[in-house]
Amino acid sequence: MRSNGGRPRRALAVLAVAALVGASCSGDDDDADPTPTAPTETVPEDEYDVDLESDDEDEMSAPSLPDGFEFDGALVSTWAATEASSISRTDAVVMGQLVQDSLEPVAEGHWIWDSWPLRLPNGEVANIDGWEILFGLSAEITPDRVPGDRHGLATWRMMGSLDGGEWTDLGLVWPDGDALGGRQWAGSAMIDPDTMQVTLYYTALGDLPSNEALTGGPATDPYEDVNWTGGQNLSTRGPDRQQMVAVSAEFSLDGDQPTLTGMGEHEIILTADGEIYRTAEQAAAQQGPYVFRDPWWFRDEDSGREYILFSASPAFLTTDDAGGVVGLAMLDDSGTWVPLQPILAAPGVNNQLERPHLVRRDDGLYLFVSTHGFSFLGDVEAPPGLYGFVSDGGIGGQFLPLNDGGLVLTNPTSAEQQTYSWVVLPTGSVLSFANYFDLTDAGLSGIAAQSPEWQREHFGGTLAPLVPIELNGAETRIDSP
Amino acid sequence: MRARKYFSGLTLALAGLLGISATAALAQESELPDGFEFDGSVVSLWSPEDMRAIDMRADNRMPLMIPPEQILDDSVFMWDSWPLRTWDGEIADIDGWKVLVGLSAERTTEGVPAFYTRSEWRYWFTKDGDWKPGGLVFDPAEAFGSRQWAGSAKYDPETETASFYYTAVGGDPTEAAQQLPASFPQGDPAAGRPPVEQTIAVVETSVEVDDEGVRFTDVDEHREILQADGEIYQTIADATTDEVIYGFRDPWAFEDPDSGDRYMLFTANAGFDPGPQNGVVGVAQEVDGEWVLEMPIVAAPEVSSQLERPHLVWRDDAVYLFWSTHSFTFAEPGSGPEGLYGMVAPSGDWQGQYVPLNRGGLVAGNPTAAPTQTYSYLVLPSGHVMSYLNTAGTPGGEPPLGTWVGAPSPMFQIVMDGATTAIAFDGEPPASAVRPMDPPPPDTTGGGSEDAGDDELTPGQEGSG
């Protein structure tokens, strides 16, 4: 294991030669030879960590590739079942237990879950005259509602913190219900500091206008991850269409209170195309997962272009274990968002790579996703958590799983659902929400059997404390707060 | 002579273990007295121990590939392909033109043809990255064999001639349907191979280029230059492998960078090992215009019956040997993914001792979810890996009709560092236009999939290169 981000070139060379000896001095050296049963334990880790940078020297003597030989087609990084299955819950990735009684509601009378900061175009968290802004999904808490209902009620709220003070509720982002879709799921938000224009990217769920209540339930679609929480206020018509929407507004400090004014037209910018990304109809026809959501806007520093990462199901893989992908779309020269190939696929591993986002560091581009334990496929058993990958080659490069298996942050086994929906901020601090506490042995699937009071009492529904993590090449660890 | 090289390799390796620099160790090596270089040949092994160490990890797992919307040439199935190269190994640049040669079969309307059976050599050329078809390299009727398999192509700028080294495969293709090998079910595009006796042949042509492209003219008489001898290299009569697997093929001609002598590597089955898992990387040398069989450089007894399309890549400190192996050619209970395998000769001598890369030899395996997405790999001097899209886009290895792609795969790269390699790809944002592998199901609820028309899928900046 490397202890630091630097890749020791000399040590690597010696290890490589030592590996040659192990192999060439014959196969009867049991200590050096990996066995089929436990190859990962006997092969020195560094042997496989070929230093791409030091190889540049070798590559200098290699000729470049003539035009035309970069044949068309797409290369997609994959997350392999062998990696996800090899995850171990070390101190580096398991967070401490969150004390539910210590939590404070941000928006009184409302559940808050997925949240994300207002960012500058370079990805930094915006600070406007001392104000930092968070957006989050919210639903009003009423006596007839259980936390599982919130997915069918979700819309965006704005929260603010002045000069690092307490977070305060700034109200609904679309109080008039003029957003698209029956509900609005996560998203991202960016402010142009020159014009103070804010652009919001959200997921519109369903075809109903948001002021029209959904009826019936419970939902029959297992991939809206709601059945286990007993949500009632959901569509019964199969998977609700998920589309990505952009809308812009002016940011202003009205009477010292941040507000969004002049909300523009809500524009559908991405709909599953059916070739790269699975449509609701395709998902229904093959009774497979349907994910097309969580737009995360970013500007690529190398090309200067605007992209959106999102969570999706592939249309180009159609088997039951096709898994989920991290999708990519690009704003082309005509101002149209066009779907590109995904940057990561998890066939046979996991079918929901939720809320993908990036953190750029000198030693690589980090990609993070959230996933539930029940989203893993087949024999893969892995905890709900924040999973991560790193690329040396930018957004179109090869993403390798962090910490060998991909797991970056998970809840302790004593409170396995205490947080979810993680966002790694540029500083390395991880934002999430307080989810369920003190569940029965049945875990998430046991929630619906409990009384509404019990369900509400065991749900956090507010921001969780930040957990700092250290990014160190292909490894991460939880940092001291 | 070979024995001495074997020991040199060991000395070098031991020096590395002791922390002595390789140069110093060689300087201290005392000369072996005359007479101690006893006769006999030593062949490097891809051993059962190596096979058991085959382990696909992030660094040797190929990315998932999505076929392009527009393939390089949609009039044919393409599979094995290789660039026209000069004898120093570089991709030939003839007044700016580059040439790709490959095996092909015309696409027909009757579904997927038994394309191995109809294999023909075609070529394509480009100046700016846009490939144009050149047609057949030579008239199959004048070539040896009922069809021609891979191969290599050499260009000599002095004489402006090209030499095409090919595998002449025997038998009458029309008899194929009655002689399906048991290992390929009826209806499989790889089925329908007629008898597969193989010899190696060459044909030389003039190369003419102008603004329009590249033409091969003045096609010389084809010459059959190598046959299995039954001693070093097994004949088909002696073969114990499945006849789909038996090999005496894939000539890869090259010039030894030290001596300037010309050699070829080829895939074969050992005559000195009954098999069936007796694949070897064979060697022949050109001596006074004739090609002479030599001992193989690598053998895989009890490992694999097929080390296909062997070829070499030189680096400053070592020479790398690569080949392709199908997952179904391994000795049970061993196994490995369909992929690119390789070994390294740390001495830098291509006839020296080889050890497997990444312990087991696996350099780039198809991901488990798409186990047959690509095959037939060729590592170029830059480290870029050519292959062809086989059943890309469909997982599980059981493609429905119409999902055989038959076009060059997008390139990924491998970086080599001693006995380890790593797959890399980077740079450009991904292409947008991918080929739909399955037509979307009928729209049952009205709306949705037609929201984004095909024309919206091509971003302005995407080029074909």
Same domain, A32 and A178: no
Read off the pLDDT band of B426 (50, 70, 90): confident
Nearest to B60 by CA among A41, A80, A350: A80
Counting every residue, how long is chain B? 465
Interface with B, mutate which of A28, A50, A286 (most B CBs under 10 A)? A50
Same domain, A42 and A176: no
Q: Look at the alpha carbons of B380, B384, B387, B388 in this order and tell me if their dihedral is positive or negative.
A: negative
Read off the pLDDT band of A423 (50, 70, 90): very high
Contact assessment for residue A389 and residue A402, using Cβ atoms and an 8 Å cutoff: yes
Residues B7, A84: Cα–Cα separation, whole Å: 43
Same domain, A25 and A145: no
Residues in chain A closer than 8 A to B443 (CB atoms): 281
Residues in chain B closer than 8 A to A343 (CB atoms): 430
Mean pLDDT is highest, among A224-233, A251-260, B434-443, for A251-260
Read off the pLDDT band of A124 (50, 70, 90): very high
Nearest to B340 by CA among B351, B327, B353: B327
- Listed in sequence order, the residues at least 6 apart from A36 whose beta carbon sits closer than 8 Å to its beta carbon are B52, B53
Taking all residues of chain A, what is their mean pLDDT, rounded to a whole number? 82
Residues B285, B262: Cα–Cα separation, whole Å: 6
Q: Do B440 and A19 touch (CB under 8 A)?
A: no
Mean pLDDT is highest, among A27-31, A467-471, B4-8, B111-115, for A467-471
Q: Which two tokens stand for residue A371?
A: 């996933």
Residue B414 included in any domain: yes
Mean pLDDT is highest, among A5-9, A425-429, B429-433, for A425-429
Same domain, A99 and A236: yes
What strand order describes the sheet that includes B248-255? B44-45, B290-301, B278-287, B262-269, B248-255
Interface with B, mutate which of A14, A26, A69, A319 (most B CBs under 10 A)? A69
Contact assessment for residue B376 and residue B341, using Cβ atoms and an 8 Å cutoff: no
**B28-41 confidence digits (pLDDT tens):** 668 888 888 888 88
Residue A349 included in any domain: yes
Residue B462 included in any domain: no
Contact assessment for residue B194 and residue B173, using Cβ atoms and an 8 Å cutoff: yes
Q: Is B55 strand, coil or helix?
A: coil
Same domain, B337 and B382: yes
With b for 16 or more beta-carbon neighbours within 10 A and e for fewer, the B253-278 pattern comes to bbbeeeeeebbbbbbbbbbbbebbbb
Residue A66 included in any domain: no
Residue B452 included in any domain: no
Secondary structure E strands in A151-277 = 155-162, 168-172, 183-192, 197-205, 242-254, 257-261, 267-270
As a whole-number percent, the residues of chain A with pLDDT over 70 amount to 80
**B313-345 confidence digits (pLDDT tens):** 999 889 999 999 999 899 998 999 999 999 999
Same domain, B201 and B308: yes
Who wins on pLDDT, A67 or B120?
Answer: B120
Smallest CA–CA distance from B125 into chain A, residue: A68
Smallest CA–CA distance from A272 into chain B, residue: B449
Same domain, B90 and B61: yes
Q: What is the DSSP string of A163-194?
A: TT---EEEEESSTT--SSSSEEEEEEEEEETT
- Listed in sequence order, the residues at least 6 apart from A394 whose beta carbon sits closer than 8 Å to its beta carbon are A300, A302, A365, B426, B427
- Listed in sequence order, the residues at least 6 apart from A297 whose beta carbon sits closer than 8 Å to its beta carbon are A188, A190, A199, A201, A306, A307, A308
φ, ψ for residue B247 (rounded to 5)?
-140, 140
Smallest CA–CA distance from B19 into chain A, residue: A14
User: What total number of domains does chain B contain?
Assistant: 2
Strand B318-325, strand B308-315: pairing:
antiparallel
Distances (CA, A) of B380 to A243, B90, B383, B409: 43, 9, 5, 14
**A138-155 confidence digits (pLDDT tens):** 999 998 888 988 887 889
Same domain, B18 and B155: no
Mean pLDDT to the nearest integer, A51-65:
47
Establish how many alpha carbons lie within 13 A of residue A334's alpha carbon, considering only the half-sphere containing its beta carbon: 11
Scanning A138-290, the segments in alpha helix (DSSP H) are 280-285
Interface with A, mutate which of B426, B457, B464 (most A CBs under 10 A)? B426
Of chain A, the end-to-end C-alpha distance in Å amounts to 24
Q: Which helix (H) or strand (E) holds B415?
A: strand B412-417
**B85-105 confidence digits (pLDDT tens):** 999 999 999 999 999 999 998
Residue A255 pLDDT > 50 = yes
Read off the pLDDT band of A52 (50, 70, 90): very low
Same domain, B168 and B292: yes
Smallest CA–CA distance from B52 into chain A, residue: A36
Q: How many CB pairs under 8 A join A and B?
A: 351
Same domain, A306 and A425: yes
Mean pLDDT to the nearest integer, A389-408:
93
Between the CA atoms of A210, A213, A215 and A220, what dihedral angle is there, to the nearest 10 degrees? 30
Of chain B, the end-to-end C-alpha distance in Å amounts to 47
Establish how many alpha carbons lie within 13 A of residue A309's alpha carbon, considering only the half-sphere containing its beta carbon: 24
Residue B363 included in any domain: yes
The CATH number given to whatever domain includes residue A90 is 2.115.10.20
Residue B70, domain extent: 45-435
Same domain, B333 and B247: yes
Instruction: Name the DSSP letter for residue A148.
Output: G
B window 155-214, beta carbon within 8 A of A: none
Q: Which residues pair with B209 in a beta bridge?
A: B214
Establish how many alpha carbons lie within 13 A of residue B125's alpha carbon, considering only the half-sphere containing its beta carbon: 25
Q: Is B88 strand, coil or helix?
A: coil
Mean pLDDT to the nearest integer, A78-107:
94
Residues B107, B123: Cα–Cα separation, whole Å: 16
Q: Which helix (H) or strand (E) holds B98?
A: strand B98-106
Smallest CA–CA distance from B408 into chain A, residue: A71
Residue A368 pLDDT > 60 = yes
Q: Is A413 strand, coil or helix?
A: helix
Residues B320, B381: Cα–Cα separation, whole Å: 10
pLDDT at A303: 80
CB atoms within 10 A of CB B231: 11
Nearest to B369 among A49, A68, A347 (CB): A347
Same domain, B15 and B120: no
Same domain, B317 and B368: yes
Same domain, A242 and A160: yes
Residue B431 pLDDT > 70 = no
Smallest CA–CA distance from A35 into chain B, residue: B53
To the nearest whole Å, the CA of A191 is away from the closest chain B CA by 24
Q: Which two tokens stand for residue B407?
A: 């076009």
Q: Is A320 strand, coil or helix?
A: coil
Residue A72 included in any domain: no
Mean pLDDT to the nearest integer, B69-74:
89
φ, ψ for residue B65 (rounded to 5)?
-115, 135
Residue A56 pLDDT > 70 = no
Name the residue type at position A23: A
Residue A400 included in any domain: yes
Q: What is the DSSP string of A33-94?
A: SPPSS-HHHHS-HHHH---TTTHHHHHHTSPPPPTT-S-SSEEEEE--HHHHTT----TTTB
Q: How far is CA B356 from the centre of its chain?
A: 17
Residue A65 included in any domain: no
Residue A33, domain extent: 9-60
Q: How far is CA A332 from the centre of its chain?
A: 24
Q: Is B20 on the interface with A (CB under 8 A)?
A: no
Residues B283, B266: Cα–Cα separation, whole Å: 6
**B135-149 confidence digits (pLDDT tens):** 999 999 999 988 899
Nearest to B449 among A73, A83, A274 (CB): A274
Residues A363, B367: Cα–Cα separation, whole Å: 26
Residues A450, A467: Cα–Cα separation, whole Å: 30
Q: For the purposes of burial, counting CB atoms within 10 Å of the CB of B195, is it exposed (0-12), middle (13-18) or buried (19 or more)?
A: middle
Residue A4 included in any domain: no
As a whole-number percent, the residues of chain A with pLDDT over 90 amount to 61
Name the residue type at position A416: E
Contact assessment for residue B293 and residue B340, using Cβ atoms and an 8 Å cutoff: no
Residue B330 included in any domain: yes
Interface with A, mutate which of B449, B450, B455 (most A CBs under 10 A)? B449
Same domain, A54 and A168: no
Residue where the block lists tokens 């015309």 = B106
Same domain, A155 and A90: yes
Same domain, A27 and A170: no
Same domain, B118 and B264: yes
pLDDT at B197: 87
Nearest to B441 among A24, A77, A285 (CB): A285
Same domain, B141 and B210: yes
Secondary structure E strands in B228-365 = 248-255, 262-269, 278-287, 290-301, 308-315, 318-325, 339-345, 355-356, 362-365
Instruction: Name the DSSP letter for residue A222.
Output: G
Distances (CA, A) of B275 to B50, B194, B238, B272, B330: 18, 22, 10, 9, 12
Same domain, A24 and A165: no
Q: Do A281 and B449 touch (CB under 8 A)?
A: yes
Nearest to A199 by CA among A188, A210, A209, A207: A188
Same domain, A273 and A331: yes
Nearest to B396 among A74, A284, A319 (CB): A319
Same domain, A44 and A180: no
User: What total number of domains does chain A contain?
Assistant: 2
Same domain, B29 and B67: no
Examine the predicted complex and report whether its ipTM is higher than 0.85: no
pLDDT at B428: 56
Residue A20 pLDDT > 70 = no
Read off the pLDDT band of B59 (50, 70, 90): very high
The CATH number given to whatever domain includes residue B391 is 2.115.10.20
Nearest to A50 among B127, B360, B422 (CB): B422
Instruction: Name the DSSP letter for residue B111.
Output: B
Same domain, B29 and B55: no
- Listed in sequence order, the residues at least 6 apart from A441 whose beta carbon sits closer than 8 Å to its beta carbon are none
Q: For the purposes of burial, counting CB atoms within 10 Å of the CB of A383, is it exposed (0-12), middle (13-18) or buried (19 or more)?
A: buried
Name the residue type at position B347: S
